[in-house]
Structure formats: C-alpha cells, structure tokens
Amino acid sequence: MNKFLPFILCLCLFGSEKLFSQDPVFSQFYAAPLQINPAFAGNTLAPRIALNYRNQWPSLTGGYVTYAASYEQLFEPLNSGLGLMVQADDAGDGTYKSTNFGLTYAYRLTFGNNFFAKIGVEVGGAQISLDWDRLIFADQIDPINGPTGPGGITNPSGEIRPDDLNKTYFDISTGMLLYSPNFYFGFSAKHLNTPDQTLLNTNDQLTSGLPIRWTVHGGTQIPITSGSRNSFPVFISPNLAFIKQGDFGQIDGGAYVGFGMFFAGAWYRYAFTNGDAVIGTIGIQKDIFKIGYSMDFTVSDLAMEGTGGAHEISLILNFENSETFQRKRRSSRFNDCFQLFR
C-alpha cells in the first residue's frame, strides 16, 4: 500500500464522477475552534493563539499531514470577536498541497444575563498545487513489475498533463452559536460559494466545485468545582458533532474532562456507513499554556492495512489565563460553557 499511495491519491483527485475534495478536520476540534465554526471567534477576553499538527496514516509513506495556526480575541466594548487562521495540508508527501487562510469576525448578542448568541463570518482564500510527476496512473502499472520498468524508470502514461498545476480561489463561510453557562449549540456552513478547485481541462459538468461543509455541533458543561485564582475548574463536557460535505459525512460523540491542570477525553467517530475511529486525548494546562496530544485508533477496515491511525498535537497560548485577565473576567458579565475551548 505504501508503494501505491500516489496512485490512490490520483484516484481520489481524478477518478470520481464529481471532482472535489473534503476538508481535513482536527480530532481536537476544541483546540482549533475556528476550523469548525467562525462564530467561535472571540471566546476569550485576551488574545488566544493556537498551533495544531495532525499526522494521518503515519505508517504509510506520504500520508496526510495538516498544520494550522490561529489568533483570536474578544473586543468586549464592540461585542465583537476577531480571528485569523492559516492552515496547510500536505497529501502524499508533497503530491497535493493546499494552503488556506481566513479572517473571521463574530458579533455577540446578549439575551438577559445568561444567554448569548454569536453570528460569525469568514472570508479568505486558498492556494492548491499538484506535483504531477509524483502521480501514478492505472496505465503505468504493469501486472508483474508495477509502475517501474527495468532500471527503476517509471513507465510512461497516456494521461494529459494539465496546463496549470496551481490554483488560487476565494472562499467564504458563516456560522452561528447559541450558548449559556451550561450548554452550547451551533451550526456552520463552510465554502458557501463552492469554489472551483479543479486543475483538469475537463467538461464543466463534471466539476461541481468544493461542496459546502455543513456542521451541526453542541455540548454541555457539567461543573464539579468552580476553581480558584490559582487552579482551573473541574468539569465534564459531553459533545456531539455532525459533519456533512458532499457524499462524505461523520458523527463524532464523546466527552472531555478537565481536572485541575490535567485534561483527558474520549470520542467515537462514525463515518455513516461504518465505524471509523476511537479517539483518545490527554493533556496539561498551566498558566497561559495548554498542550494536548490525541490519537485516532482506526476501527474500520483500514486498520487491517496498518495505517497507524492519526496523531495530533496542539499548543494553546491563552493569555486570558494570566492573573490580570482572570481578575477582569471575574468582574465581567461574560459567562459561558466554553471551558474546554480555553
């Protein structure tokens, strides 16, 4: 399977009736909230910086690696949050690369003292590139010798090389959140303009653009202790997310537990037609720093292929957890159930 991963990638890019791809989604969604819903922008009074790394199928040569970096904060006098996120995805060890960036704005509405709504919008763009010479097509594969002939030279292909192997496009997304001190519920629609990603010179009827990614998600926060000036609260936060993009869909359900300076969580991902993965998370939080590690344990048929699941690491710098901003937060009316996102 290692040997033919570029061929598999080729089939994913060009072998379907409708030509499109799906977004990578972090298992540690709470560590990259802007990726899920632009309405999350500004859930902290002080600046919040997040760095995310995901390595999917690490046992295969040239799997899928995703990086993300984001900045966000609330401007309380304006009831507004601003965020900026940059994400890079590398498939097939450089065969197919994409870089996305987005500027996010969210406006907060207050209904009484304990119920809020936020409406968010994200505008940005993306740049994709394809290394054509790394692809392996069906007509290059000899039944006995594979894609290479004598001397290790790759067999020729009759596929026509596209004129342009790079593309840049504009993107827009929106979302909404409803929340109180005890629960949150939200939905988002990514890629509302269904941007054209195709690099092929093909019939326009075959290119439907990047499908809208619909997400419905929610959760609750069950407090155990409220915490103090020198300690984080203890709580349990069950969560559920439904994600649908084109023909692909998944449901993630599980719970996150914060206990003092440590946190842990477990989720199960179901990909509509079959169980996909069990996800385990552990981490530590100290002052403004929060570091988390998670692993996806594959339970689908891919487990037999020895893909290695997926590993994720997140690093959060949340300046709201500094002593100065903790005093400000206690005096603020800002109250919600988003402790797991901090």
User: Which three-class secondary structure string do you get for 189-217?
Assistant: EECCCCCCCCCCCCCHHHCCCCCCEEEEE
Q: What is the mean pLDDT of the chain?
A: 84
Q: What residue type is assigned to position 63 of the chain?
A: G
Per-residue confidence (pLDDT) for residue 326, from 0 to 100: 66
Tell me what the mean pLDDT of segment 169-197 comes to. Answer: 94
pLDDT at 20 over 60: no
Answer yes or no: are the C-beta atoms of 61 and 308 closer than 8 Å.
Answer: no
Domains: count for the chain: 1
pLDDT more than 90, % of the chain: 49
Query: Taking the alpha carbons of 255, 42, 242, 126 in that order, is the dihedral positive or negative?
Result: negative
Per-residue confidence (pLDDT) for residue 218, from 0 to 100: 96
Where do we find the tokens 């802007």? 34
Chain segment 55-98, per-residue pLDDT in tens: 987 777 667 899 999 999 999 889 999 999 999 998 877 888 99
Instruction: For residue 305, name the pLDDT band (cuts at 50, 70, 90).
Output: low
What's the pTM value of the predicted model, to 2 decimals? 0.85
pLDDT more than 70, % of the chain: 84
> Residue 224 belongs to a domain with what CATH number?
2.40.160.40
Per-residue confidence (pLDDT) for residue 15, from 0 to 100: 43
- 100: domain range? 5-341
Answer yes or no: are the C-beta atoms of 156 and 138 closer than 8 Å.
Answer: no
Instruction: For residue 161, name the pLDDT band (cuts at 50, 70, 90).
Output: confident
Instruction: For residue 53, name the pLDDT band (cuts at 50, 70, 90).
Output: very high
Instruction: For residue 24, name the pLDDT band (cuts at 50, 70, 90).
Output: confident
Most confident stretch, 127-131, 192-196, 312-316: 312-316
Instruction: For residue 199, name the pLDDT band (cuts at 50, 70, 90).
Output: confident
> Which of these, 190, 185, 187, 260, lies nearest to 228 by C-alpha position?
260
What Å distances lie between residue 267 and 29, 235, 249, 257, CA to CA? Answer: 11, 17, 16, 12
Per-residue confidence (pLDDT) for residue 3, from 0 to 100: 46
Neighbour tally for 333: CB within 10 Å: 9
Local structure of residue 228 (DSSP, 8 states): B
pLDDT at 319 over 70: yes
pLDDT at 10 over 70: no
Instruction: State residue 283 phi and psi, 5-degree precision.
Output: -175, 180
Per-residue confidence (pLDDT) for residue 108, from 0 to 100: 93
Q: How far is residue 130's CA from residue 116's CA, in Å, rounded to a whole number? A: 44
Q: How far is residue 224's CA from residue 220's CA, in Å, rounded to a whole number? A: 13
pLDDT at 273 over 50: yes
| Beta strand residue intervals within the chain, DSSP E | 48-56, 64-75, 80-91, 96-111, 115-130, 166-179, 183-190, 213-220, 222-225, 234-245, 248-259, 262-270, 275-286, 289-298, 310-318
Instruction: Find residue 105's DSSP bridge partners.
Output: 82, 121
Per-residue confidence (pLDDT) for residue 102, from 0 to 100: 96
Instruction: State residue 229 phi and psi, 5-degree precision.
Output: -60, -30
Chain segment 204-243, per-residue pLDDT in tens: 555 568 899 999 999 999 988 776 555 677 899 999 999 9
301 alpha carbon, distance to own chain's centre? 23
Instruction: State residue 133 phi and psi, 5-degree precision.
Output: -70, -15
Q: How far is residue 307's CA from residue 63's CA, in Å, rounded to a whole number? A: 9
